[in-house]
Structure 1
């Protein structure tokens, strides 16, 4: 059995995922603020305010620091002549092999936040599903998209 895939996604993925965590935390902070205001107006027990603030702090820690770090450490990929291997997961590590003969097309996707950090996500489409390799440097993503499309054509010619 082969070891885990060797290639990692860009370290800038941490910044992108942490920024997403900040945005999600801000949405929750608005809800917590509303809860604290209502608790003050209607004289609810103090533990409700404390619990809401505690949930906000825990959520912020998980979404801004912990989960992006673990996600980045676990995310690996490798493109071989016959297959693409993906490894990801937080508590449960999932490894996927995508045979080149199954690849139908390959795209790069770049939203505004990824563009800001010069990153792109590769999407690999098969008949059954779409697989992603997130947060690669844009130049690397373009090269990888091109090499996967060439390998997929060669694999189709072999069938």
Structure 2
């Protein structure tokens, strides 16, 4: 069994994931506000409203504070000459090995939230799927993209 990959993603990844989770949680918050506003008109019992708000607050804590921290702790990667080793997951930790010979192209992606924090995601595409290494410092992501690109070309030339 391989040892755990040594490289971590940027610590700012937690902030990015928290902002994204906050944006996704806006709709449930608005819905809960609407239900609260119309509680009397819709004859909703108080205890149902309290349970709903308790569930929403628990979900906010889990999705905005807990999961990004655990996700960051689990995310690791390492690039070797023959393969890319990626480890991710929250409850179930997935360890993926992508052979360099299978790499078709490598991209960097940077949305508005990642850009604000100077981060980028490296996407490694094979014929079957695309693997992502999220939230790397921009310069690190560009260097990693170029390194994987060179290693993948070397493998193709040797065959």
**TM-score range relative to shorter protein:** over 0.9
Pairing 1:4-153 to 2, within 5 Å after superposition: 4-153=4-153
> d(CA) in 1 for partners of 2:52 and 2:44?
12
Q: Quote the offset at 1:48 in angstroms.
A: 1.5
Q: Quote the offset at 1:51 in angstroms.
A: 1.6
Once structures 1 and 2 are overlaid, which stretch shifts more, 147-156 or 28-37? 28-37
Contact kept in structure 2, 1:35 and 1:52, CA below 8 Å: no
Contact kept in structure 2, 1:81 and 1:151, CA below 8 Å: yes
Q: Quote the offset at 1:34 in angstroms.
A: 1.3
Contact kept in structure 2, 1:109 and 1:122, CA below 8 Å: yes
> d(CA) in 1 for partners of 2:40 and 2:129?
49
List alignment gaps of at least 5 residues for structure 1.
none
Contact kept in structure 2, 1:107 and 1:123, CA below 8 Å: yes
| Per-residue Cα deviation, 1:55-114 (whole angstroms, up to 9, x for no partner) | 210111011100000000000000000000000001000000000000000000000010
Once structures 1 and 2 are overlaid, which stretch shifts more, 122-131 or 49-58? 49-58
Contact kept in structure 2, 1:124 and 1:131, CA below 8 Å: yes
> d(CA) in 1 for partners of 2:150 and 2:107?
13
Q: Quote the offset at 1:38 in angstroms.
A: 2.5
Query: SS at 1:114's partner residue?
Result: helix
> d(CA) in 2 for partners of 1:45 and 1:79?
57
Query: SS at 1:123's partner residue?
Result: strand
Once structures 1 and 2 are overlaid, which stretch shifts more, 31-40 or 149-158? 31-40
Contact kept in structure 2, 1:75 and 1:87, CA below 8 Å: yes
Contact kept in structure 2, 1:25 and 1:56, CA below 8 Å: no
TM-score of the pair, normalised by structure 2? 0.97
